[in-house]
């Protein structure tokens, strides 16, 4: 079965048409969406408002669920399920928008750095599914960069330089980068760092891609400054406009991205206005884990 799709308004990604993702899917439809993900890295479903439970049921069909950052920052009362990421600026008690100094609000600001979800853990994330519930009147887009096209466009010398390199990803690195360091020892140690090759290959398509982002903190065998500078240079290259899709949210959108092949970042918005998205994520247990020394 080849589902009906149309390209997104950007260099990659497709919109899936004619599938109600709130109903259980036939195995061949799941398979077809997996193939679309391998080929396109982003699949958008429009105009299908979902409950939390519908979103969880949809996501589970694609693999085991990730509860990611929950080990570091505790959920608020609004969203109790460990497998549902509350990507909102709403207060836990239902009183509206949370204050700017609320730990969750501060913490979510790191989502505005280019990253791959849960690359700081093993297994890392495979698919993230972000569902839009309400949007601010300005800003709050989510941007995606295609790490496959970015890899292809590297010069040969750089491809040789990075082949075989391994980066260490740490959960709080992105937070420290923007000066959010109010974490105690327990939080700092809650998720041990993970190591991933800087160049990886999609096991189905055989296509190579970069694997970098704001959680990547160092490169094995390099001094921290040399490794970070290389990671920054690669990030700057990979996030150029020609590799980028910008998503303007509509209520009822569900956008699925492949965390292996893309980076993403949220854009600033007026923190006084409600923005509410819900994220569910599958793990990528098939990627070979590189054992950490010690």
- The answer to whether residue 169 forms part of the interface with ligand OGA (CB under 6 A) is no
Distance CA 121, CA 160 (A): 27
Centre a 10 Å sphere on the Cβ of residue 120 and count the other Cβ atoms it contains. 29
111 neighbors 267 (Cβ within 8 angstroms): no
User: Which residue's CB comes closest to ligand OGA?
Assistant: 266
21 neighbors 46 (Cβ within 8 angstroms): no
Q: Which of 264, 280, 283, 284 binds ligand OGA (CB under 6 A)?
A: 264
Distance CA 32, CA 36 (A): 6
Name the segment binding Mn ion (CB under 5 A); options: 42-50, 115-123, 136-144, 248-256.
115-123
Nearest-approach distance from CB 25 to ligand OGA, in angstroms: 23
Provide the mask over 30-69, with x wherever binding to ligand OGA is found by CB under 6 A and - wherever it is not: ----------------------------------------
Nearest one of 219, 213, 202, 193 to 289, comparing CA atoms: 193
Q: Give the phi and the psi of residue 224 in degrees, each rounded to 5.
A: -60, -45
CA distances from 12 to 39, 119, 226 (A): 9, 22, 32
Find which of Mn ion, ligand OGA, none residue 174 binds, CB within 5 to 8 Å per kind: none
Find which of ligand OGA, Mn ion, none residue 279 binds, CB within 5 to 8 Å per kind: ligand OGA
Q: Which of 72, 90, 98, 130 binds ligand OGA (CB under 6 A)?
A: 130
Q: Which of 136, 193, 227, 266 binds ligand OGA (CB under 6 A)?
A: 266
Nearest-approach distance from CB 293 to ligand OGA, in angstroms: 29
Q: Which of 279, 280, 282, 283 binds ligand OGA (CB under 6 A)?
A: 279
62 neighbors 282 (Cβ within 8 angstroms): yes
Q: What is the total count of residues that contact ligand OGA (CB under 6 A)?
A: 11
Q: Which of 117, 146, 253, 284 binds ligand OGA (CB under 6 A)?
A: 117
- The answer to whether residue 111 forms part of the interface with ligand OGA (CB under 6 A) is yes
Q: Which of 117, 146, 168, 284 binds Mn ion (CB under 5 A)?
A: 117
Q: Which of 32, 44, 87, 210 binds ligand OGA (CB under 6 A)?
A: 87
- The answer to whether residue 118 forms part of the interface with ligand OGA (CB under 6 A) is no
Q: Which of 128, 135, 174, 254 binds ligand OGA (CB under 6 A)?
A: 128
166 alpha-carbon distance from chain centroid: 20
272 neighbors 51 (Cβ within 8 angstroms): no
**For binding to ligand OGA (CB under 6 A), which residues are involved?**
85, 87, 111, 117, 128, 130, 142, 264, 266, 277, 279
**For binding to Mn ion (CB under 5 A), which residues are involved?**
117
């Amino acid at each position: 079965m080849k589902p009906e799709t149309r390209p997104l308004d950007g260099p990659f990604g497709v919109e899936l048409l004619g599938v109600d993702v709130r109903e259980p899917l036939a195995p061949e439809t799941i398979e077809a969406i997996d193939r679309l993900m391998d080929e396109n890295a982003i699949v958008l479903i429009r105009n299908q408002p979902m409950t939390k439970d519908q979103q969880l049921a949809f996501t589970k069909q694609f693999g085991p669920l990730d509860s990611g950052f929950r080990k570091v920052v505790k959920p608020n009362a609004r969203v109790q399920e460990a497998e549902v990421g509350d990507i909102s600026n709403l207060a836990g008690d239902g009183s509206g928008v949370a204050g700017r100094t609320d730990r969750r609000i501060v913490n979510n600001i790191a989502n505005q750095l280019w990253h791959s979800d849960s690359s700081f853990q093993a297994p890392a994330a495979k698919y993230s599914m972000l569902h839009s519930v309400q949007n601010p009147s300005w800003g709050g887009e989510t941007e995606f960069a295609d790490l496959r096209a970015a890899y292809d466009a590297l010069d040969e010398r750089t491809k040789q330089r990075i082949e075989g390199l391994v980066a260490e990803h740490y959960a709080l690195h992105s937070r420290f980068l923007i000066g959010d360091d109010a974490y105690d020892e327990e939080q700092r140690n809650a998720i041990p760092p993970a190591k991933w090759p800087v160049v990886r290959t999609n096991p189905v398509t055989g296509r190579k891609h970069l694997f970098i982002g704001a959680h990547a903190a160092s490169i094995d065998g390099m001094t921290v400054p040399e490794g970070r500078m290389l990671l920054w240079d690669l990030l700057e290259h990979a996030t150029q406009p020609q590799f980028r899709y910008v998503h303007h949210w509509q209520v009822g959108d569900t956008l699925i991205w492949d965390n292996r092949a893309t980076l993403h970042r949220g854009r600033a918005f007026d923190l006084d206005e409600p923005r509410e998205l819900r994220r569910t994520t599958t793990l990528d247990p098939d990627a070979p884990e590189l054992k950490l020394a010690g």
